Every structure is written in structure tokens, then in C-alpha cells.
Amino acid sequence: MIICTRTALESHIVYQQLKEAEVDDESLVTLFAMKEFCDPNSKWRGYFEAMPTSFETHPLFMSDNALDMLQGTLLFDEINNTKQSLKEFSSLMFPFIEQHFTQFFKGVLTIQNLTYIRCVMDTRAFQIDELGFCLLPMIDMCNTNPYPQLETRGYYRAESDSVQLNNMYQTCAGEQLYICYGPYSSRLPDSCVELRSELLEKFDLSLEHYFCRGKIIPSKMVAALRICLFPEDVISKKKFDPFVSHRFDVDVVDTLRNTLLMLLEQLPNVESDDASQDVQMALKYRQCQRFILEESLSAVNSMKI
């Protein structure tokens, strides 16, 4: 079960017309989800009924005081960018759709529905190369955890028209499997993206990493950093192996250390007497971010090159 651009295009000619009008894929999926969410006869009704009835604790609904606690974090920028994108979507897309497809989207185009579906997307959407921006109802059965066993990166299998998630480490029979909800937004540096992407796939590496056990930086993370950091003349060699090279290990560790120090500098310790739930959640998030950075820096400093 997959909700993606293809799902929308195959469901009704309206989405094909929107596609022809150059509506982007993410907007198509958003509109499709809004429509199905509001349709009591939708084939996806069971999926949306299993969703939370509200997202009151979602960062989009945080107070100004809570947002102040998030300054210096990536989440702060993401919240502001999301709010701006919702305003732009409603101000540009809604009038266009109401002009051309009023009856089809009757009762659907409200800022409340848009915000709700955006929260659904933020907490559940995947970015799969072959499918694009999509929702995966079956994988939604997995609960979220900051230290998941499943890699938060899906692999599309055309032969079965399904998405596969890989286990990052061995688990016991009967153990609940977790993923980490959220957008997959890692980016590769410089213009040598295609070659680096091929190498990451060849060595089964990812730009998403979790410190699941202890304080030792995973070898796969260091290998992925080598691929991202090494110059093209090195990674283009046939015998290049990111797991055994030592030439740039010092550069890799220095890059990690400097990045962590920069992030810590942007995130000083703060306190608040405000006891409201969202402020305390934001403060805890900030503290957790500092803890992760400090532990990561400690692990980097303990590495012997």
C-alpha cells in the first residue's frame, strides 16, 4: 500500500490535469491526502481514521515562548519555513483549484485540513527515489523511536511494487521494530553527487546515522564521511574502499569535530520558568540536542588516528 504521485494520477483525471498544469508532485500528494481524508467513502479511510485526531503537540502549534527555546536548532528554522510554505500553498494553490476544480475539492480546501495533512506528512512521509514523496500505510504500523532498529530509508522493489526497510542491527524474535519518523533530507556536497551516491549505495552506506550503542562512532558513519570528503580523483579509483583508507582520516575527524563545535556554539544552555507543556517540550528538545552534540564530540575526541 503506497500513497504517492502515481496513486493520485491513477485515481482521478483531476490530478492528471493538475499535473499538466505543472503542480509539483509533493503538492499533488498533499491534495490527494486532503481529499481522501475528507471523503467518508475513501478506500484509504481506515488509514486516516487510525491517525491521531489532532497534532496539538506538533511544533507547528507551539507558542512563541516555546519557539524561543528552539532558537539555534534546525527545528526552529524548519518550523518557520513550514509555516511560510503553508501560507504560500494556501494563497496560491487554493484560489487556482477553486477556480477550476471547485466541485471536486468541495469542503476540502481549508487551512485546518492543510495543516493537519502537513502534520501527517511531517511525521510519516518518506522520500523514495522511484516514488518521490509518499506515505506508506503498512510501515506506519511501526512506532517511532529516536534510536530505531530500522533504517529510515526505504528501497523500492519494482518486482513486488513494495518498499523495503533494512534492519540496522540484529534484533531478537518478537522484538518490536521501530523507525524514526520525519523527512529524509540529507544532502551530498559538491558537484560529484552522482559518483558519491553510487559509492554509498555500493557499500550499503547512508547519510542518516543513529548512535544506538555506546559512544563509539560507527565505522559505517566514518566510511560515509570518507566518501563525502575525499576528492574525486581518490573515490574514482576502482580499488577505492572507504573502510580501509587512512589517508584522510585526520581530515574526517577534524571535519566532525569542527562541525560539532560550531553546532554547540549555536546552541547555548538556556533556562525557563514557563511551566507550559510546549515550552517544557521545547526546552527538553534543546537539552537533548546539546546532549547528543556533546556526546558526539566526546566520542570524536576519544578517537585515535
Containing 114, the helix (H) or strand (E) segment is helix 111-124
Checking if the pLDDT of 304 tops 70, the result is: no
- 283 residue type, one letter: L
For the chain, give the number of residues.
305
Report the DSSP beta bridge partners of residue 150.
167
Tally Cβ neighbours within 10 Å of residue 270. Answer: 13
Checking if the pLDDT of 248 tops 70, the result is: no
C-alpha cell at 295: 556526546
Closest to 124 (Cα-Cα) out of 1, 244, 40: 1
> For strand 126-128 and strand 162-167, is the pairing parallel, antiparallel, or unpaired?
unpaired
> For strand 132-134 and strand 126-128, is the pairing parallel, antiparallel, or unpaired?
antiparallel
What is the rounded distance in angstroms from the CA atom of residue 33 to the CA atom of residue 217?
A: 39
Q: Which tens digits make up the pLDDT trace of 78-113? A: 888 888 989 999 998 999 998 899 889 988 999 989
Provide the pLDDT for residue 149.
78
Containing 109, the helix (H) or strand (E) segment is none
Q: Which CATH superfamily, name and number, covers 5-167?
A: set domain protein methyltransferase, domain 1 (3.90.1410.10)
Predicted confidence band at 220 (pLDDT cuts at 50, 70, 90)? confident
Q: Which tens digits make up the pLDDT trace of 43-85? A: 998 888 888 887 877 888 888 888 888 888 888 988 888 889 8
**Do 140 and 51 meet the contact criterion of CB atoms below 8 Å apart?**
no
Average pLDDT over every residue of 109-130: 85
Domain boundaries, the chain: 5-167, 186-301
List the single range of 87-91, 130-134, 225-229 with lowest mean pLDDT: 225-229
Average pLDDT over every residue of 223-249: 74
Provide the pLDDT for residue 226.
79
Phi/psi at 241 (5° precision)? -135, 110
Provide the pLDDT for residue 187.
47
Q: Which tens digits make up the pLDDT trace of 9-42? A: 999 999 999 999 988 888 999 999 999 999 999 9
Checking if the pLDDT of 283 tops 70, the result is: yes
What is the rounded distance in angstroms from the CA atom of residue 278 to the CA atom of residue 57?
A: 7
What is the rounded distance in angstroms from the CA atom of residue 296 to the CA atom of residue 290?
A: 10
Taking the alpha carbons of 78, 80, 81, 87 in that order, is the dihedral positive or negative? positive
Predicted confidence band at 206 (pLDDT cuts at 50, 70, 90)? confident
Q: What would the DSSP string read from start to end of 196-255? A: HHHHHHHTT--S-----SSSSPPHHHHHHHHHHHS-HHHHTSTT--TTT--TTHHHHHHH
C-alpha cell at 211: 548512535
At 178 the three-state DSSP class reads strand
Phi/psi at 221 (5° precision)? -70, -45
Provide the pLDDT for residue 166.
79
Closest to 215 (Cα-Cα) out of 288, 124, 301: 301
What percentage of the chain has pLDDT greater than the value 70? Answer: 89
Checking if the pLDDT of 212 tops 60, the result is: no
Provide the pLDDT for residue 186.
44
Provide the pLDDT for residue 104.
92
Q: Which tens digits make up the pLDDT trace of 145-198? A: 777 777 766 778 888 888 877 787 777 888 888 877 654 444 444 557 788 888
Query: Residue 14 contacts by C-beta under 8 Å, 6 or more apart in sequence?
Result: 101, 104
Provide the pLDDT for residue 183.
45
Provide the pLDDT for residue 208.
66
What is the rounded distance in angstroms from the CA atom of residue 217 to the CA atom of residue 268?
A: 24
What percentage of the chain has pLDDT greater than the value 90? Answer: 15
At 150 the three-state DSSP class reads strand
